[in-house]
Amino acid sequence: MEDKAPPPTTVLQPIRCKAAVCRKPGEALVMEEIMVAPPMAHEVRIRIICTSLCYSDITVWKMKDPPGIVPRILGHEAIGVVESVGEDVNEVKEGDTVIPTFMADCGDCKDCLSNKSNLCSKLPFSVSPGLPRCGTTRFTDLNGEVIHHFLFVSSFSEYTVVDVANVTKVDPAIPPNRACLLSCGVSTGVGAAWRTANVEKGSTVAIFGIGSIGLAVAEGARLCGAARIIGIDVNQDKFEIAKQFGVTEFVNSRSLGDKSVSQVINEMTGGGADYCFECVGLPSLVQEAYACCRQGWGKTVVLGVHKPGSVLSFDSLDVLHTGKTLVGSLFGGLKPKYDIPVLLQWYTDKKLELDKFVTQEMGFEDINKAFSLLIEGKCLRCVMWMNK
């Protein structure tokens, strides 16, 4: 009896698709056709359904020096469907709906196996221009020129390639124009209150900067049962919006006279807030937040991103004598593969209110309009559909 030949192996091919490419820092993205290579081992190729715009995209888009680099495909908040998988990928398959994240969750390293950290030590976070395991790219333009990745996601493309450690399988029934928000911003803010700070019921929270991240912190604090949520910002008009997210009081930092923000918060709270969140990315605000969190148990959580090399300065005796905690929070302390499904269940159960974060929806071809709206402060989250 003759041995049967093994079935032919399907050879994956590059895909030609549209992408919005950053060709020059701070200039309009160029909508062009690119080639997306097949996934290598431990990688998946994803067809993006919709993507949203985060201010981190704006920050890096403007950068002329590293970690800024061009040409590059930005975007890191998205949801999509697995088109194909590389070797050694077992947890997702073709057709699965997934959320890509800049934060890896390998499930193998000491950090991922611990409940004390969400910082994967096997595939650590970086603003790398390539993929995490090899540092290479899967994007080229039609002339064969390399196009760089962003935050291991690069969702401003109809197709992208992502490491399997950076994707979370989700229920396809969840509306994609809401689920995509959990790729970064909403997860970061809600997680910072829920996981990093562990805000307690009846506590007092102060949030420095009530843009989309600050409002997500407020949403998380509301879910945790905070009694007072104080929003601090330079724009008085934000208060009415902030009320929808649970903010109970507002401080306009431009109208305090001779007093500092920390003095005002200390007076309002009788000695400081239980939890302070810095969501802007200014060292001076981190110090103000630390100065108005309560001695003994106060916790200051840093979420804002400032330029590389920025230094924080604190009086050593103040640190010793007050017993406060200062902690950074990357992706809100969430483990993506475990916590994103929890947040989606909260949305399904009408606990987590994602709808109010989306202020605009448009087609992918209008991405430069979305950039303008965010820069002008006219939107919280703008969701772009790839094909609608």
| Amino acid identity for residue 140 in this structure | T
Task: Count helices and strands (H / E) in the chain.
Answer: 11, 17
Measured between its terminal Cα atoms, the distance across the chain in Å is 55
User: Hey, what domains does the chain have and what are their CATH numbers?
Assistant: 15-183+353-385 (3.90.180.10), 186-331 (3.40.50.720)
Apex CA 224: angle with CA 346 and CA 266, to 5°? 150
Per-residue pLDDT of the chain (388 residues; tens, 9 = 90+): 455 544 445 689 999 999 999 999 999 999 999 999 999 999 999 999 999 999 999 999 999 999 999 999 999 999 999 999 999 999 999 999 999 999 999 999 999 999 999 999 999 999 999 999 999 999 999 999 999 999 999 999 999 999 999 999 999 999 999 999 999 999 999 999 999 999 999 999 999 999 999 999 999 999 999 999 999 999 999 999 999 999 999 999 999 999 999 999 999 999 999 999 999 999 999 999 999 999 999 999 999 877 778 899 999 999 999 999 999 999 999 999 999 999 999 999 999 999 999 999 999 999 999 999 999 989 999 999 998 7
- Which residues 6+ apart lie within 8 Å of 377 measured at CB? 235
How do 139-141 and 15-21 pair as beta strands?
unpaired
